Every structure is written in C-alpha cells, then in structure tokens.
Amino acid sequence: MSFGNLKARNKKPVPPKLMITSMMDMFTIILIFLLFQFSEKPETIHMLEDIELPQSTAKMDHTETIKLVLTQKGLHINNDLIAGVRKGKVIGLDPQNPKASVLYQLLEKEYAKTVQKSDEKQPKEHILLLCDKRHSFKTINDIVKTAALAGYPNFQFGVLKE
Amino acid sequence: MSILRKGRRNFEEDTELNMIPIMNIFLVIIPFLLTSVSFFHIKAISTSVPVMADSTQVSAVPEKTKMTVIVEMLKGEMRLSATAEELDMEKLAQFEQVIKLQTTGVYPLMKLNEYLQSVKRTYPASDTLILIPDEAVRYDSIIQAMDAARNFNERPLFPNVVLSGSLG
C-alpha cells in the first residue's frame, strides 16, 4: 500500500456541484417567452372541445359582449347550452318563426336590459359569434337572422390568428 | 505593502452568486404562467346583417361615389357585381363578372381580390361589400372570402363586410 493511496482515502468527500448557469439561461428564455404570450391577450375565452375555429388574417381584438358559441353539437350563449344541433340544424329554431326560439327570447331579454342601462334608444351592441368552421351558411344564417331580429345586427366573428 | 497585497487578493477572489432562491422563484412562476398562457390567439372580424335604416342616415348628396360590391358565393361559381346610387346601369354593367370554380368548394379568392382592387382603384371611397353565400357554403370559406375582401398587403380594400342570405 502506498502513501499516496492512503492520502486519497482520507480526503473528505466533496459534494457535487450542480451547473445551474445553463439551467438559469433556459428558464430565463422560457420566462420571457411566457411573459410575452401573457401580455398579448386581452382576455381568456373558455373554449369547448367540439369546436374548430377558422383561421384568419384578422388583427382586431374581440370585445367583451354576449358570446354565442356554435359547436358541432350545440348552441351556447355565455357558456350555457340553450339548444342542440343535429345535422346542421339548431333544434327548436324554426327559420319561419324565429321569435318562438329560446335564442330569440334570451337575446331579447338581454337587449331590453341594455336599453334600460343605456341612454340611447337603439344601443349599438354586438355579439361575439364563435362558430365551428365546418358549419354551413344555412345554420349560421338562421342564428344571425334571429339575433338581428332581437336587436343585434352587428357581429364579431371569432377566428384563430394565422 | 503586505496589507495592500492581501486586500487586492481578497478583491480578486471569485465570488459565487447564490442562484438557488432565484431558481425557486422561477420554478414557481413558470408553472403558473404555463397554466394561464394561451397558445391560440382569438381575433375578431366585424360584420353586420342588413337592417332597415332611417332615411335620414343616408346623406342626400354624397361627396364621392361609393361603390358597394356584391359577391355571391354560389355552388359552381362566384358572381361579382357592383351598385352605386350615382352611377347608371351601363357603367355598373362593366363591373359584372362571373368566375367559375375550378375545384368544388374552393373559391378563387385571388381573382376576387384582383377584382376588388380594380374597383378600389376606380372608386377609392368604396368600402362596403355585401357577401351573399349559398346555403351550402362552409363557414371557413366565408371567413376566407371576408379576409380577401378586407385588405390586400396590409392595405384596406372593403373593410365593411355585410353578410346576407340570398333572396328568394
């Protein structure tokens, strides 16, 4: 046994040092990226699973208003399901008699509330419509016409930024 | 002399920053941001449906001729026409076009864009387009047509798109 080996054995074990610098770099990049993503959006929208929004070059941000969501299975108003959709047709919405539909009645109530709050006779309110891209114009037209009849002729179509 | 040297040596010694607290903060912030971040950015396209307007809203003598373009998205073709109160039928007939679809369901949006650019060059005050899709046209195609109508290379073409159902 040599003296050299004995010396080595008596050495205290050195705790291993973690290389944190590279990890810090990575975290800093992730943090900056996430902070940018966070500041860009004006508000969060709760998205339903069975909806595929179309892509668009639009740059305008949507504003807080009544939200209509038309998925493959149903029509929602402010996150509440009000009617089912079967074969591209909103159940309970007759295009010949739209005033009998739940959609019209709910929107009319909302419009009456807005008129009470507002000083104007015809407040320029709009509806944010989030619609599945696979729907045909017929389905959308029935909803849009009913909403216009209830006092909402202006719409914002929600789309995904390209 | 020796004191000075000792002081300089102390000054030159590497000091290690304690990164652990910073790492702890990062480990808290990053999961929080990851849960609240959105990877899909929702934007909006403003549109309206035709409504009855008061006669007072329309000015009697318009300063510039405003052309309203009508785009009909039909099953096999795209019909383009224009209307303006100040122009006669002969002039308006020059703006009538029918573009046949090469593939079913795929609308020639480049041709539509070129047409709109030519209208805009002739009547720069024009800003309204009435889009009349067929009942079977997909919502995705309508949005694409609206995109083609609104602007070209960041320049606005017809920003006021009115969505209407076909009559009859």
Distance CA A156, CA B44 (A): 5
Q: Are A133 and B150 within 8 A, CB to CB?
A: no
Look up the domain containing B85 and give its range: 64-163
The better pLDDT of the pair A42, B89 is held by B89
The whole model's pTM is what? 0.75
Clarify whether residues B78 and B159 are in a common domain: yes
pLDDT digits (tens, 9 = 90+) for A78-111: 888 999 999 888 998 888 888 999 999 999 998 8
pLDDT at A21 over 90: no
pLDDT digits (tens, 9 = 90+) for B117-134: 999 988 889 999 999 999
From the list A37, A130, A153, the residue facing B49 with the nearest CB is: A153
Q: Are B143 and A158 within 8 A, CB to CB?
A: no
Give residue B61's pLDDT.
Answer: 43
Clarify whether residues B137 and B82 are in a common domain: yes
How do the domains of chain A map onto residue ranges? 3-40, 55-161
Q: Is the ipTM of this complex over 0.95?
A: no
- Residues of chain B with pLDDT below 70 are 1-13, 51-63, 167-168
Q: What percent of chain A shows pLDDT beyond 70? A: 84
For range A55-76, the mean pLDDT = 88
Closest-CA residue of A relative to B74 is A137
Distance CA A36, CA B145 (A): 31
Clarify whether residues B30 and B69 are in a common domain: no
The matching CATH number, chosen from 3.30.70, 1.10.3470, 2.120.10, 3.30.420, for A55-161 is 3.30.420
